[in-house]
A = this chain, B = another copy of it.
Amino acid sequence: MIPERSWQQRLHASLTLATTPENRYFQMATCDEHGIPHNRTVVFRELESSPEALLIVSDLRTEKCQHLQSNRNVSGCWYFSQTREQYRFACQGEVLTSSGHHNLLEAHWQRLSEPGRQQYFRNQLHASEYFDCSGRGFPLENYPPQFCVIRLIIERVDYLSVAEQPHERIMFEKSSDGSWLGSQIDP
């Protein structure tokens, strides 16, 4: 049975119905070089299309950026508590830096709150070296070299709704031509 709505339509609806900040978080799992999984909560920033990708912002010094150097596979698990829907995203992750992606980084930096920006300068003795220290301007106005965007290119979406009995589960897989095919499976 072919599902009526695409995962993109479902995710758009989930995001529209979600009214609490927690619904903007999801859990991102990576594997280290020893095959050990590592899981953490991240903040959703943007959904790109063509190809579909989840964007988050991060710091190059974090464990997750290091893991992506040796293993690009990522599993994102996003649970919407209000609508009781779960999306499991099988992704390929890539770390985007100022080299080649300045405009994207700049746009995401500008959207961060001041406390959000300050996170990038904690425990950093020489933060001032990255800035014009002449006294002009605000020191948090430009992103530091360790700021990055992680792009999680989505290859498969395992959708589950537990709002009603029986539960509904649909597997959306990407074809080689970039189109998506969904099929209902046993929850």
| Chain A residues engaging chain B, CB cutoff 8 angstroms | 20-22, 25, 27-31, 35-41, 71, 73-77, 79, 81, 86, 88, 90, 115, 118-119, 122-123, 165-167, 186-187
Residues of B within 8 A of A86 (CB): 40-41
Bound state CA distance, A30 and B31, in angstroms? 9
- A29 contact from B37, B90, B166, Cβ within 8 A: B37
- A41 contact from B28, B31, B36, B79, Cβ within 8 A: B79
Nearest CB in chain B to that of A166: its residue: B122
Residues of B within 8 A of A122 (CB): 166, 186-187
Residues of B within 8 A of A39 (CB): 27-29, 39, 75-77, 88
Interface of A, secondary structure class, is strand
Bound state CA distance, A165 and B22, in angstroms? 18
Q: Is the CB of B81 within 8 A of A22?
A: yes
Q: Is the CB of A73 within 8 A of B35?
A: yes
Distance (Å) between the CB of A138 and the closest chain B CB? 18
Bound state CA distance, A28 and B39, in angstroms? 8
Contacts A20-B81, A31-B31; A75 near B37 (Cβ below 8 A): yes
Distance (Å) between the CB of A111 and the closest chain B CB? 18
Nearest CB in chain B to that of A30: its residue: B37
Bound state CA distance, A128 and B119, in angstroms? 57
Residues of B within 8 A of A20 (CB): 81
Contacts A77-B41, A123-B186, A186-B123; A31 near B22 (Cβ below 8 A): no
